[in-house]
A and B are shown apart, each in its own frame.
Chain A
Amino acid sequence: MVSLLQACGVVKRVGRGRASSEVLAGVDLDVQEGELVAVLGRSGSGKSTLLHLLGGLDRPDAGSITLAGQSLLGCSQRELTRIRLRRIGFVFQSFQLIEEMSGEENVLLPAGLPGAPPGGALRARNLIEELGVGAVASHLPHELSGGEQQRFAIARALVNEPALVLADEPTGNLDSVAARDLLAILRGLTAAGRSVIMVTHERDVAGAADRVLEMVDGRLR
């Protein structure tokens, strides 16, 4: 198993001066390819923060993060953006679909950005079909159910074939049926060789993962 993502001693502080506190107090993590990892923690424990750092959406105050051999620390904004475009797919808790665009257009969004790998349209189509939302592809987000929206969000995250998928509370806004379906999808992603890191506060959701790490006091256990 090849290690895809390593994090060493990642520290993230919030606030300033005397009011600052360490959300992450030195996190170590190692994720292999094709692994589904769950990070379990209470709300406010810093798990979302960790996800953001791993996804290059924010910079740690200390520590290092390496993705597929490339350290994220020395990267400029441009490079980070590039990495986010091609190597990472983010699935947000609140889906963060763009309201003005249909589900399909949302999926196509990353594929149309400059620097995206070609063939995105076909991939998008396939993903939509695979995820079973082909029938409602032209609907606007507010016309879709929570589960359908989540699938489009996943499709969007996958359209550029990233190696790493980061999911923030993916079942947070879903009912139990949809949640089960979603976990199955996530499992399926790892079969294709992708790594998935999932952040959740529900123990039974975390149970579907290959590995469960607990976030306690700003560290992973």
Chain B
Amino acid sequence: MLATAAVVGYGLHTGFQRSARGADLPNVIARFDRQPLSRVAPRIEALPDLAAFAFRLEVTNVDLIGGAHRSREGVVEVLSPGRRGFDLLAGRELSVRPGEAIVEQGVARSWGLRLGSRLLLDGLGALRVVGIAESPDNVAFPLAAPRIYLSRPALDARFGVERDPQVNVAELWLKDPRQLDQVLGQARASSYGLRGLRVITRDGVRVLLDQAAGIVIALLVALSAIALLTAAVMLGASARAEVERRLAGIGVRRAIGAGRAHIALTHAVEAAIVSIPAGGLGVGVGYLVARGPSDRLLEAINELPPGVGLLAPLAGCWALTALIPVLASGWPALRASRRPPIALMRGAELGGRRGGRSLLGRVRLGGNLVGLAALGARLVSARRVRLLATLAVLGVSVGFILLMLALASELNTLQSDPGSLGKRYQLTASLPAAAVPQVRRLSGIAAVAPRYEVQALDSFSLGETIDLIGYPGDHTIFEAPPLVSGHRLGSDSGAEVGRGLAQVLGLRPGSTVAVELPSGHEARFRVAGIVDSLQHDGRVVYVSSRALLASEPSAQEQLAVRLSAGASPVAVTRRLAALGAKPKATGGATDRGRSLIAALTAILRAVAIVDGLVCIYALIQALFLTARERRSTIAVLRACGADAGAVRVLLGGAAVAAVAPAALIGVLLERFVLGPAMARLAIGYASLELSAGSGEIAAVLAGLAVLAAAAVLWVARQAGREPIVVALS
């Protein structure tokens, strides 16, 4: 499990850096409406701190046909000579000969294109694929539009040399990336006349990609941490249980004069003999299970798989999994050997008192089948430490599995287009603000408020339209894109500005943003905070509705409806429709999002399966050890005439004693610790409800029960096979 988490976590966490380095991603990518090169080049050349720059012409919505596949949303990048911002995975660079193209790896993979394959481009005819590239400046097809690269000389050869070619993308590589802000400031100051300016920096690309897979990365990194903790608990518990089992042996050795350190070392070495190969095997299995889905996920976001880089973290996992049992064997052995040998030989529990009725109180043991089960429970709980360890392992595993189920179902319901992340309302209703009290009275609705949106221009004609969004009061109830700097808009004059806009206009908390509204008025707001919003490329401004309406009374008005937890969207939609609203769900499902979700779900499933295996192991181990230690008890029972069924009841009682509290622990853990912790980690990207639903809990408990039953049956059979006589002695 550790290895699984390590593979995925490491891959995702370092994926961007690897790809950015491999692809030589520029520090700044500036996009603008088409300009002749002669007008743009001098401005770029005058910027400080430039190591290199290159221009491209990006043409969108091109009709591309590759074999049986077709897309009308193809993006063609016409490259001027110079540095590249992509990594060639196969093939070669474009030459000046016409008819050559490099395709992005997502397209190549999805459309089955190889070197030499043919592509048809509307307007240019047939092209031959000479290279396959990966560029981490955007997610891969099919999450993003399909991209191909052509060379300008090739176009010139076909259409004739363009004296002053048009460009709309400038890539800048800086000598010292720390001067980025200064460079951006200078670029902005000399950008007059460039319309539609959008600037994205390497950090910005990273944010974009992180948000596309944002939840996943944060969650998986967190899952890795939890997995590590769980693994440590499990390994430590198992090792400790082993030492417990062998207390008598320790006592004997102490009695004959072995030193404490020697005993501890012996145990440690014995543990190591098992843990090293076992750890290697486990890590190997975890790696194999996780590699496929993880690589697929990385490809989807145009990042390179870690490849050899995984050796280090995997070796670390191996070392860790080998080390923990060693420590967990050596340390308790060291401590146990402190006690008098006689006590050890009598089998006193590690640090626990034997006997006592505490755990099961007044239940009459042995009186009937219930009593038998109670006896079984009593047997397993006599070994307090081991029981706690087993409970811990099972509980955490159950919690984990529940968390992953909750995650998977949440991801499925999200089905988003990352643009709707940050939205916390599920429905919109086309009703006026006056209808709010009426709507609020409907059941299943947690909050409702009017939402105003208007398209504005920035007053300095630097870019395209800005989405101006206004709510009365606290908008974070409905929309809460993560806050990057500053604080939420506090007053009527405050605004939260999307990062994309802030970068173009050079805005910071405290500066002023000026927008020109369709009514002709100009509105100015003081920037309270900068938020990460992918809506409209980050060109959004959140303001109070009062301020918005003051400048633009005819802003589009809607009600944003947030459902209470557990409410059925279908039912609420019906109730809203009954009021005359035309309710619509937010968060469109796009085909592109689905493949990412599919990759993510595959990873979650892999992790859940591995975790399930761990559960089985823990259960069987607990039962098995109990049966082994109480062989004589079971033998006595059989000698007294207990049949196989009675033995099963006994062990069943033991299993219940282990499983029932563990299930409870697991459910509570997931609901109050793991779920909220995970949700808080991802809070920037979406508001996740990560409590496992009752259906999921029931499924997990049922699974647990089945596992427990299987374990009981198996252990009972093993116990039954042993001749009574042997067991008695």
The interface of chain A, by Cβ under 8 A from chain B, is 52, 55, 57-58, 77-78, 81-86, 90, 92, 96, 98-101, 105-106, 108-116, 121, 140, 142, 156, 160
Contacts A57-B725, A96-B632 given; does A84 touch B364 at CB 8 Å: no
User: B259-301 toward A: CB 8 Å interface, digit per residue (1/0)?
Assistant: 0000000000000000000000000000000000000000000
Taking A57-B728, A100-B379 as given, write out 13 further A-B residue pairs in contact, using a Cβ cutoff of 8 Å, ordered by the A residue number. Answer: A78-B644, A81-B642, A81-B643, A96-B636, A100-B365, A101-B365, A105-B367, A111-B367, A112-B372, A114-B643, A114-B646, A121-B367, A160-B641
Q: Report A-chain residues with C-beta under 8 Å of the C-beta of B728.
A: 57, 92, 96
User: B627-643 toward A: CB 8 Å interface, digit per residue (1/0)?
Assistant: 00000110011111111
User: Is there an interface contact between B643 and A78, defined as CB atoms closer than 8 Å?
Assistant: yes
User: Is there an interface contact between A110 and B369, defined as CB atoms closer than 8 Å?
Assistant: no
Q: Which residue of B lies closest to A87 (CB)?
A: B641
B437 part of interface (Cβ distance < 8 Å): no
User: Is there an interface contact between B639 and A57, defined as CB atoms closer than 8 Å?
Assistant: yes
User: Is there an interface contact between A85 and B641, defined as CB atoms closer than 8 Å?
Assistant: yes
Q: Report B-chain residues with C-beta under 8 Å of the C-beta of A115.
A: 641, 643
User: Is there an interface contact between B724 and A58, defined as CB atoms closer than 8 Å?
Assistant: yes
Give the complex CA separation of A116 and B640 in angstroms: 10
Cβ-neighbour of A112 out of B369, B379, B639 (below 8 A): B369
Contacts A57-B639, A81-B638, A110-B640 given; does A100 touch B367 at CB 8 Å: no
Q: Which residue of A lies closest to B377 (CB)?
A: A100
Nearest CB of chain B from residue A47's CB, rounded to whole Å: 14
User: B612-640 toward A: CB 8 Å interface, digit per residue (1/0)?
Assistant: 00000000000000000000110011111
User: Is there an interface contact between A101 and B366, defined as CB atoms closer than 8 Å?
Assistant: yes
Q: List 12 A-B contacts (CB under 8 A).
A: A58-B724, A58-B725, A78-B643, A81-B638, A85-B640, A99-B382, A100-B379, A110-B641, A112-B366, A113-B641, A113-B642, A140-B355
Q: Which B629-679 residues have a C-beta within 8 angstroms of A?
A: 632-633, 636-646
Q: Which residue of A lies closest to B632 (CB)?
A: A96
User: Is there an interface contact between B642 and A142, defined as CB atoms closer than 8 Å?
Assistant: no
Give the complex CA separation of A52 and B632 in angstroms: 15
Of the candidates A52, A77, A98, the one having the most CB atoms from chain B within 10 angstroms of its own CB is A98
User: Is there an interface contact between A90 and B633, defined as CB atoms closer than 8 Å?
Assistant: no
B497 part of interface (Cβ distance < 8 Å): no
Q: Report A-chain residues with C-beta under 8 Å of the C-beta of B369.
A: 112, 114
Nearest CB of chain B from residue A165's CB, rounded to whole Å: 13
Contacts A98-B636, A99-B355 given; does A58 touch B643 at CB 8 Å: no
Q: Report A-chain residues with C-beta under 8 Å of the C-beta of B249.
A: none
B475 part of interface (Cβ distance < 8 Å): no
Nearest CB of chain B from residue A114's CB, rounded to whole Å: 6
Q: Report B-chain residues with C-beta under 8 Å of the C-beta of A85.
A: 640-643
Nearest CB of chain A from residue B384's CB, rounded to whole Å: 13
Give the complex CA separation of A174 and B368 in angstroms: 31
Nearest CB of chain B from residue A13's CB, rounded to whole Å: 14
Q: Which residue of B lies closest to A89 (CB)?
A: B640
User: Is there an interface contact between A112 and B367, defined as CB atoms closer than 8 Å?
Assistant: yes
B361 part of interface (Cβ distance < 8 Å): no
User: Is there an interface contact between B365 and A90, defined as CB atoms closer than 8 Å?
Assistant: no
User: Is there an interface contact between B643 and A100, defined as CB atoms closer than 8 Å?
Assistant: no
B548 part of interface (Cβ distance < 8 Å): no
Give the complex CA separation of A62 and B640 in angstroms: 25
